[in-house]
Structure 1
Amino acid sequence: MPVAQQLNARFGVNYFDYSFHTSTNDINYDAKAKLRTFDALLDWFPFANEFRLSGGVIYNGNKVDATGTPKANGTYTINGNTYTASQAGQVDGRIDFKKFAPYLGLGYGNALAPNKGWGFTADVGVMFQGNGSTSVSNSGCTASALICTQLARDVAAENAELNDKVHGYNLYPVVRLGVSYKF
């Protein structure tokens, strides 16, 4: 929607799921990335063409959920200690990011241009999502209290390792292509 002569506002919704396998040094995971964002952006057209600078805020619902999978022999090795899958129970992990993130980008195209017919838009930008927060946990430990306590310490070490792996992924690149038709 137009805001001023050289300024437009736009809103977008993005939704995508992606399943994959990953691992830390100790545990293999079946993971699912759930990419869900809603953005509110302002496009400023500083020149008389369709080049634009964009900025705004994005609601960031992106996260990764992971379920630990034991090795072929039915064991987990966590922090150097081996546990049977029945002892360890379920091992789960999650990576979350801050919920609101600023966005800056460059683009070309204006869906509100007075020209009739087909239009093309392209954006390249970055969402400043901050460092991810991780959580690794286990549930259903069936071993003795002593072993379950050691398992809890090892799971905390696994969480620290995962946190180290995601540290530094605080910028999320954004590329968008679009077409429009104006009657």
Structure 2
Amino acid sequence: MTGTITIPTGERAIIRVFTLDMRPEQVKFLSETGALEQVLGIEEMNRDQIEIFSTDDLEELGLTGYLIEGCGLSPEEIDPQSDVLSAIKGDVLLIRSRAFGGRETRLNPADQIQLVATLSEPSTNWSGTPIETASAQLYSATKQSPRAARARARRIGFTLFAVMMALITIVLLLLVF
């Protein structure tokens, strides 16, 4: 048994890899509503953030290849655990942190579910240098005079009025003929 696994509040960008030591019909049953939650000992989770599959389905790509190519993990993240991950045969369960909705969760997996690896997804660097151009400054656009703004509004209003009148005229002509 793996024991209790604590998912901290607000955890992001973590993928946990579990092996499933179960018969094929039991693995298939895990896709039923509430079944996986029951064997993990929790109330609810986002099923869109969970994958259950057999490593045989990955063919020559393998589990490490799937984690790099399919999940976007960096090879540097996989390398320290590549021997363990490559040795996995059979059914696998992948759970992303988003499955828990940012809530603190305590997993109590059944004896047939073993945690093999905890991997970090690459995160986006949102930092950047400040924009120094004049156009990025607040209120940097040229301000129109009130007279020019009214004239522009009148032109737009007249154009819309002319288009609507033309459409009404076309519709009336089509109805008459």
Structure exhibiting the larger radius of gyration computed from Cα positions: 2
TM-score class, shorter: under 0.3
- Taking structure 2 as the reference length, the TM-score comes to 0.24
- Taking structure 1 as the reference length, the TM-score comes to 0.23
The structure showing larger relative contact order (alpha-carbon pairs under 8 Å, at least 6 residues apart) is 2
Choose between structure 1 and 2: higher strand proportion.
Answer: 1
